[in-house]
Amino acid sequence: MKLSIIIPALNEEKTILEVLGRVKMQELPGWEKEIILIDDGSEDMTGEIAGREDSVKLVRHGFCRGKGAAVASGLKEASGDFVLIQDADLEYDPADWPLLLQKIESGESRVVFGSRNLNPGRRGYASYVLGVWLLTKLANILFGARLTDIYTCYKIVPLALAREIGVSSAGFEMEAEITAKILKRGIGIEEVPISYRPRKFSEGKKIRWRDGVRGAATLFRCRFGGLPQDEKSIKF
């Protein structure tokens, strides 16, 4: 099978080379890897560094459009059986991929999330931990689920399903949108524990409290009203 790895990146010149190295080196027996990096309007050397790497398909946005828009661009280019999102910082470790893929290979689930909360180690800013807990709790109430971490980066989804549900959110609220649309279709989501190395604002962390508010609004919109006319999902 083939795994398309989408890497949204914005001003990550300090980490992008190591991330790409880990992505390339991670062994996945029985899987072919496709690496797609979206340079979301970086003002540093992120795109130039990625462009020098073999086996990396580079997509460049002329300006910063947001993580959701970057993922949507990645889905246009993907050709795998499944798609996985990998952040361009060092918060998530590709060494955890096999744990997620085991669930796919065994047929236990079509969709697998890597949860930072099933076996928590380093947790990051307390306000962010609380925010993820509240958003996850809200998603569980609205959609009758029992998840522990809907804002995890690691989501493995069949490419056909990802393209069917589409992506309308430009920013980090795309995490809530993807989760909500999957749950609304009655598709179960399996979670496995993953490691997590939270970084600080001084190291380039970008998500802010406003993104949590947008995430909550997105969950309600997906549950009760669909999408406004000017914010329809990008279909493929």
HEC-encoded secondary structure of 2-30: EEEEEEEECCCCCCHHHHHHHHHHCCCCC
Asked if residue 11 has pLDDT above 80, the reply is: yes
Residue 109 binned pLDDT confidence (cut-offs 50, 70, 90)? confident
Specify the pLDDT at position 205.
59
Asked if residue 74 has pLDDT above 90, the reply is: yes
Domains and CATH numbers, the chain: 2-224 (3.90.550.10)
How many whole angstroms separate alpha carbon 222 and alpha carbon 167? 12
Asked if residue 2 has pLDDT above 50, the reply is: yes
Asked if residue 121 has pLDDT above 80, the reply is: no
Specify the pLDDT at position 69.
94
Region of poorest pLDDT, from 28-32, 125-129, 173-177: 125-129
Backbone angles phi, psi at 60, to 5 degrees: -120, 130
Residues 198-210: pLDDT tens digits?
756 555 555 666 8
Specify the pLDDT at position 34.
98
Q: For residue 89, which amino acid is it? A: D
Asked if residue 115 has pLDDT above 80, the reply is: yes
Percent pLDDT > 90 in the chain is 74
146/131: higher pLDDT: 146
Q: Which residues of 122-146 are buried (b: 16+ CB within 10 A; e: fewer)?
A: eebeeebeebbeebbebbeebbebe
Residue 211 binned pLDDT confidence (cut-offs 50, 70, 90)? confident
Region of poorest pLDDT, from 63-77, 95-109, 116-130, 188-202: 116-130
How many whole angstroms separate alpha carbon 203 and alpha carbon 87? 14
